[in-house]
Structure formats: C-alpha cells, structure tokens
C-alpha cells in the first residue's frame, strides 16, 4: 500500500488518500489548516483509530504553524488542540496523539514556537513509524492465532488504511499469509460506510490475499455453515477490563462467534487501550449523520421524516474475546491483569 498519509514540511500541508472515494478513485485530499484536518476526520476522508491519531498529530503541527506568529500563540494553540482531540469521540487514539504532543510541549517549559515546531515534526514522524512497527509486531504475535486453511472473518477496515500502514486485524491476516498459511478472508461489508466492502476488499485484493465480501446480515449463516474458523477485528477504544469498542456490528459478530465456538480476537496497539475507563459502559459512542443510513450513493432509501439510528460503534464485552493481540503479545483473560502487565512490560523498555 502506498503512503496514504504524508506531510510536506515545505508548505505544512497534510495529504490524505481520500477513503470516501475508494476503491474506484485514488485521490488525495490536502489539508492546509487545522480546521481542514477536523473536517477530514469528521467526514471520514481518513478513518480508523490509529490513522486518525497520526492525522491529529500532524494537525497539531499545522495548528502550531497557524498561531506561531501571534503573541497569544500558546493560548490559541491549546484551543486548537482541544478541538482536534474532540473531532471524533470514540477512538481514544485521537486524544492520545494530541495529549502526547501537548505533554512534550509542557515538558519543555517556555520553549519558543519556532523550536517546538521541529520537535513536534520529529515526534509526529516517529509516531507514524512506531505505529507501523507496532502493527508488524502485532502481526507476528497474532499470526499464531490463525491456522493454515482457516477462513478468517473481519468487520470494518482495520488495515493499512486505518493505521499508518500494515494494519491491526489485517496486519495479523497479512502476517499469517506471509508466513505461508493458505487462508481466505470474509470481509463483512459494514453498513453504512462500507469500510469492509470498499476498503478491506481493496487492500486484500491488492495484496493477492483471497477475499470475499458478505452482507453484514449473512454472518450467522456463514458461521452456521462452518464457513468461518476465526474472527479478527480492530478496536477504537479498549477499557481497562478488556471491553472493546469497534465498528457497529462487531458485538453481533462476537455473539455469533461465541454461539458457534469460533475464536474471536481483537487486534489493537496499546495506544487504543484507555486505562482511565474501567469498563465498556464508560466508552462514548459516536452517533453520525442520519443521511449515511437514509441515503445510498446520494439516493434516498428511507421514507421522508422517518428517523434512523446511526450509532457508529458498539462495545463487545470482554467475556466474548478469546484474546487481544497487541505489540506486547496476545493478552488473555482476565484482561484487567493481562492489560496492566502489558503496560508494565512496555514501560520497562
């Protein structure tokens, strides 16, 4: 997958492969202001928890560039960072990335903006590179959860496009494939934004990994017929007890997997785990515009004035999760203990 998020230091612009247009058009959306970054996040030019974290990090740099000549630059910058951190509510990576850069700034006392700029640019590039590394490590650990000959179901897109590159759930699938396992993938289409049909199928087809698309409501039948041996999905926020928020529909897939004795895995970096939230009940669930459900390709499909639900995420309880695949290994229940231990291992490095 080519570089789908890149920053140009010459004119401080961020270039994002426009995921709304895939798979039929490959065009870049260019952001020159922090408000354009917020728009790109909200209309989902870029989406996927780690990818929106990386985008927000570059957004902080654009915000700094916007205010650095003004005497009140620090106050103005804090306001812009707050807006960036709240562009979408569910994926914790967004807040994590902004607060990471804000913390670095706080640690440098009265650093002038001209010195903060290169520091942040270096750090954002490192965050982007680290995310790819974390995905590759996750892939190495997670590949062992997939057996030769398995058909793996995934929901939404947790691939290169949803991260800085390689992917979380698709990283695990890629690593299993690269290890020589003859696997197949079923990509649930993922109404209403169709991340599975458009993005997961696009990525896997490009890599030559056999993939079929199924309607979300075919999941029960596919499992009942023995056509799925394993489920691997990503996550947007994981609570301290392992409850995991991911794309709407994931909870239903997990319940069906449990009923059919199929292992259900989450693949996510530690930056997706929010230790300040004890259980899934505390994870904010984004509600998106009704038009995404009431219209398909610009055509209205529901009667006028009928309200629709457009919750973008749901929470899978930890008890349904066989393992959480991270860059610190595959965490197993009880998650409160295994998650805390993974953070301790990471802190010692």
* Number of residues located near ligand MRU, criterion CB under 6 A: 17
CB 177 within 8 A of CB 183: yes
Q: Which is nearer to ligand MRU, 36 or 236 (CB)?
A: 236
Secondary structure of residue 124 in the 3-state scheme: helix
CB 326 within 8 A of CB 272: no
Instruction: Name the catalytic one among 18, 131, 150, 236.
Output: 236
Instruction: Report the C-alpha gap between 262 and 340 in whole angstroms.
Output: 26
- φ, ψ of residue 198 in degrees (nearest 5): -90, -45
Q: At what angle do helices 113-143 and 169-178 cross, to 10 degrees?
A: 50
Interface residue with ligand MRU, options 55, 188, 200, 246 (CB under 6 A): 246
Instruction: Report the C-alpha gap between 213 and 125 in whole angstroms.
Output: 34
Secondary structure of residue 162 in the 3-state scheme: helix
Interface residue with ligand MRU, options 128, 195, 316, 338 (CB under 6 A): 195
- Is 156 one of the binding residues for ligand MRU (CB under 6 A)? yes
Residue nearest to ligand MRU (CB): 234
- Is 196 one of the binding residues for ligand MRU (CB under 6 A)? no
CB 47 within 8 A of CB 85: no
Q: 64 to 103, contacts with ligand MRU by CB under 6 A?
A: 91
CA 193 to chain centre: 14
Q: Which is nearer to ligand MRU, 52 or 228 (CB)?
A: 52
Q: Which is nearer to ligand MRU, 77 or 219 (CB)?
A: 219
Minimum CB separation from ligand MRU for residue 8, in Å? 24
Instruction: Report the C-alpha gap between 117 and 65 in whole angstroms.
Output: 8
The 8-47 contact track toward ligand MRU, x by CB under 6 A, reads ---------------------------------------x
Q: Which is nearer to ligand MRU, 162 or 339 (CB)?
A: 162
Instruction: Report the C-alpha gap between 190 and 199 in whole angstroms.
Output: 10
- φ, ψ of residue 286 in degrees (nearest 5): -70, 135
Q: Which is nearer to ligand MRU, 14 or 40 (CB)?
A: 40
CB atoms within 10 A of CB 215: 14
Minimum CB separation from ligand MRU for residue 217, in Å? 18
Residue 162, both tokens: 């949803």
Secondary structure of residue 250 in the 3-state scheme: helix
Minimum CB separation from ligand MRU for residue 349, in Å? 22
Cα torsion 158, 159, 160, 166: sign = positive
Kindly list the distances between the CA atom of residue 274 and the CA atoms of 105, 233, 321, in Å, as whole numbers in the listed order: 22, 18, 17
Instruction: Report the C-alpha gap between 245 and 88 in whole angstroms.
Output: 14
The 275-314 contact track toward ligand MRU, x by CB under 6 A, reads -------------------------------------x--
Interface residue with ligand MRU, options 38, 49, 97, 175 (CB under 6 A): 49
Stretch of 32-40, 155-163, 179-187, 204-212 lying at the interface with ligand MRU (CB under 6 A): 155-163
β-pairing, 323-326 with 329-331? antiparallel
Q: Which is nearer to ligand MRU, 50 or 89 (CB)?
A: 50
Minimum CB separation from ligand MRU for residue 83, in Å? 18
Stretch of 26-34, 214-222, 229-237, 289-297 lying at the interface with ligand MRU (CB under 6 A): 229-237
Instruction: Report the C-alpha gap between 241 and 239 in whole angstroms.
Output: 5
Q: Which is nearer to ligand MRU, 120 or 313 (CB)?
A: 313
Minimum CB separation from ligand MRU for residue 346, in Å? 18
236 is catalytic: yes
Catalytic residues: 236
Binding site for ligand MRU (CB under 6 A): 47-50, 91, 156, 158, 162-163, 168, 195, 234-236, 246-247, 312
């Amino acid at each position: 997958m080519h570089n789908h998020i890149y920053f140009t230091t010459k004119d401080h612009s961020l270039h994002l492969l426009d995921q709304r247009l895939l798979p039929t058009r490959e065009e870049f959306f260019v952001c020159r202001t922090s408000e354009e970054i917020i728009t790109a996040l909200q209309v989902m030019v870029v989406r996927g928890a780690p990818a929106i974290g990386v985008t927000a990090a570059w957004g902080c740099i654009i915000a700094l560039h916007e205010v650095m000549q003004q005497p009140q630059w620090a106050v103005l910058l804090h306001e812009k960072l707050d807006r960036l951190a709240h562009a979408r509510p569910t994926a914790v990576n967004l807040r994590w990335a902004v607060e990471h850069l804000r913390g670095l700034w706080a640690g440098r006392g009265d650093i002038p903006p001209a010195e903060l700029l290169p520091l942040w640019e270096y750090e954002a590039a490192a965050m982007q590179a680290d995310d790819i590394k974390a995905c590759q490590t996750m892939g190495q650990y997670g590949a062992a959860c997939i057996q030769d000959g398995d058909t793996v179901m995934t929901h939404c897109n947790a691939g290169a496009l949803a991260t800085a590159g390689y992917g979380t759930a698709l990283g695990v699938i890629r690593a299993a494939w690269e290890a020589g396992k003859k696997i197949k993938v079923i990509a649930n289409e993922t109404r209403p934004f169709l991340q599975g049909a458009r993005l997961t199928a696009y990525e896997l087809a490009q890599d030559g990994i056999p993939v079929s698309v199924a309607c979300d409501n075919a999941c029960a039948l596919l499992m009942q017929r023995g056509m799925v041996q394993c489920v691997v999905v990503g996550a947007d926020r994981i609570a301290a007890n392992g409850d995991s928020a991911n794309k709407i529909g994931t909870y239903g897939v997990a319940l069906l997997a449990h009923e059919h004795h199929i292992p259900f895995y989450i693949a996510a970096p530690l930056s997706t785990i929010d230790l300040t939230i004890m259980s899934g009940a505390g994870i904010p669930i984004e509600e998106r515009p009704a038009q995404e459900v009431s219209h398909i390709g610009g055509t209205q499909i529901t009667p006028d004035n009928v309200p629709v639900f457009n919750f973008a995420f749901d929470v899978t309880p930890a008890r349904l999760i066989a393992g959480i695949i991270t860059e610190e290994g595959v965490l197993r229940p009880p998650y409160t203990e295994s998650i805390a231990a993974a953070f301790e291992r990471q802190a010692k490095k």
